[in-house]
Amino acid sequence: MTQYHPLTIQDAISLAKKIPGHFRKDAELSCREIGDGNLNLVFHITDENGKSIIIKQALPYAKVVGESWPLSLDRARIESEALNIQHSICPDLVPQVFYSNRELAITVMEDLSDHTIMRKGLIEGTAYPLFAKHIGRFLARTLFYTSDLGMNQQEKKERVKQFINPDLCKITEDLIFEDPYRDSPNNSFSEDIRDEAEALWNDTELHLEVALLREKFLTHAEALIHGDLHTGSIFATPESTKVIDPEFAYYGPMGFDIGAVIANLLLNYSAQPGWSSDEQTLHERRERLLRMVSDVWTEFETNFRALWNEEVLDITAKTPGYQDLYVQKILRDAIGFAGCKMVRRIVGLSHVADIDTIEELAIQEQAKRTALAIGKSLIKINRNAVSIGEVIQKAEQAA
């Protein structure tokens, strides 16, 4: 029973009963598998009174384009350990883990079904007025407190070891930083934008920037990053934000997580002509999304600088000018990574519903071209950018 096997519904129910403090031994439990089934199983278990928990289990392979791609089960350990660290740093923004089991590759956690996956909410036009404040604080605190700025450097080195995550990092290295820029069998795009894909394969200026960003992803062990912080990894309501699914977590560049959030807001921005019923709505939603992009950065920067000023112990971190250069580096990286994340969602293996579920194909095509225009320009400006305003400007120009 403790040896690894994919759980059945019955297994999930028996397991749920054994976790102390949740269900009575004689409780009538019902269980549904609610994951998308590509990488992981997600079981939702409830009793007669509506008390509920989630059991997430990693599968030893990923199902991609009908093929099986072996994937280490160790990512379940990484996910539960990352959730625990993030929860200890931001208890209101991360689900609580109740139990985890390495052999079975499971994480048992708080049920967040009263929240909506943010990608879905944004497609439906929901406003999230507190999102930027919440995610800015999440980013600043998780990145600061897991870095050499916020923890003892020897302990940090132990953490780096704890979060070596080669299989999942390779997915990012290949699918984000490599395939979209060459004619790879892993790419996937609609024929109506073949001209755009081919332009990417021939854009040597872009290739140099992406090579430099890939190098940062491979080598810059700055902080414990989430690694997959798109709007499908965020549960939200207008009042609350919860970050889930850190199975890609490893020690990497801080800008990668910030860039992921910005990219996904801008993908939704690009897609809005497919979701807004009239010009006025389109205008309002796009303004709101750009405001969110700008506020995510500002909230991150404000919180991060405050932590630096109040919590840093090292004398070197007080060197005049150092904090400003450090923050500028994070901004530039965030802009570059945001661009890469937008491009891959249009021509690479895995797309986003914001764009791909637009019914009218001409509007869908235009949304793809808008997203690519923004993504490419962010990649090209990243090394010289000085403010988040440049991102807003590029988005407005492309729309």
Query: What is the distance between the alpha carbons of residues 393 and 285, in angstroms, rounded to a whole number?
Result: 16
- Binding residues for Mg ion, per CB under 5 A? 36, 245, 247
* Closest to 144 (Cα-Cα) out of 386, 398, 351, 327: 327
Question: CA geometry: angle at 389 spanning 384 and 394, to 5°?
Answer: 80
Closer to Mg ion by CB, 35 or 125: give it. 35
Is 101 marked as binding a ligand?
no
- Is 56 marked as a binding-site residue? yes
CA-wise closest residue to 342 among 232, 252, 258, 260: 260
CA 207 to chain centre: 23
Do residues 228 and 265 make contact, with C-beta atoms less than 8 angstroms apart?
A: no
Residue 109 site contact among Mg ion, ligand ADP, none (CB < 5 to 8 Å, cut-off depends on kind): ligand ADP
Interaction of residue 63 with ligand ADP, rule CB under 6 A: no
Residue 30 contacts ligand ADP per CB under 6 A: no
Token duo for residue 301:
């920067």
Check whether 179 is labelled as a binding-site residue.
no
163 contacts 224 by C-beta, under 8 angstroms: yes
Choose the binding region for ligand ADP from 28-36, 137-145, 276-284, 339-347 (rule: CB under 6 A): 28-36
56 binds ligand ADP, rule: CB under 6 A: yes
Determine if 328 is a binding residue for ligand ADP (CB under 6 A): no
Annotated binding-site residue? 344: yes
Considering only residues 12, 39, 89, 262, which one is a binding residue for ligand ADP as defined by CB under 6 A? 39
Sign of CA dihedral 274, 279, 280, 285: positive
Q: Which is nearer to ligand ADP, 234 or 330 (CB)?
A: 234
255: left (phi over 0), alpha (psi -120 to 50) or beta: alpha
Size of the site for ligand ADP (CB under 6 A): 19
Q: Which stretch in 4-12, 110-118, 132-140, 203-211 sits in contact with ligand ADP by CB under 6 A?
A: 110-118
Regarding 245 and contact with ligand ADP (CB under 6 A), the answer is yes
* Under 8 Å between Cβ of 177 and 186: no
Site residues for ligand ADP, 116-145, by CB under 6 A, read: 117
Alpha-carbon separation of residue 309 from 210, 322, 397 (angstroms): 33, 12, 37
Beta-carbon contacts of residue 117 (< 8 Å; ≥ 6 apart): 231, 232, 234, 235, 236
Which region among 18-26, 105-113, 189-197, 199-207 touches ligand ADP (by CB under 6 A)? 105-113
Choose, by CB under 6 A, the member of 7, 22, 40, 104 that binds ligand ADP. 40
What is the distance of C-alpha 134 from the center of its chain?
A: 15
Q: Which residue from 266, 268, 258 is spatially nearest to 332, judged by alpha carbons?
A: 258
Q: CB-wise, 222 or 245, nearer to ligand ADP? A: 245
Q: Is 246 annotated as a binding residue?
A: yes
| 16 contacts ligand ADP (rule: CB under 6 A) | no
Looking up tokens 């303004």 gives 287
Q: Would you tell me the crossing angle of helices 166-175 and 74-89 to the nearest 10 degrees?
A: 90
Q: Does 247 bind ligand ADP (CB under 6 A)?
A: yes
Q: Count of CB atoms within 10 A of residue 21's CB?
A: 6
Of 19, 27, 62, 112, the one binding ligand ADP (CB under 6 A) is: 112
By CB under 6 A, tell whether 111 contacts ligand ADP.
yes
Residue 92 or residue 205: which is nearer to ligand ADP going by CB?
92
Q: List all residues 6 or more positions away from 230 whose beta carbon is below 8 Å from its beta carbon.
A: 119, 260, 261, 263, 264, 341, 352
Site for ligand ADP in 71-100 (CB under 6 A): 95
CA angle 105, 111, 115 (to 5 degrees): 125
Piece of 32-40, 145-153, 166-174, 369-377 that binds ligand ADP (CB under 6 A)? 32-40
Q: Does 244 bind ligand ADP (CB under 6 A)?
A: yes
> Does 51 show up as a binding residue in the annotation?
no
Do residues 172 and 217 lie in contact, with contact meaning Cβ atoms separated by under 8 Å?
yes
**Contact call for residue 42 and ligand ADP (CB under 6 A):** yes
Q: Which residues are annotated as a binding site for ATP?
A: 40, 56, 110-112, 245-247
| Site residues, ligand ADP (CB under 6 A) | 34-36, 39-40, 42, 54, 56, 95, 109-113, 117, 233, 244-245, 247
Q: Which residues are annotated as a binding site?
A: 40, 56, 110-112, 228, 245-247, 344
Binding residues for substrate: 228, 344
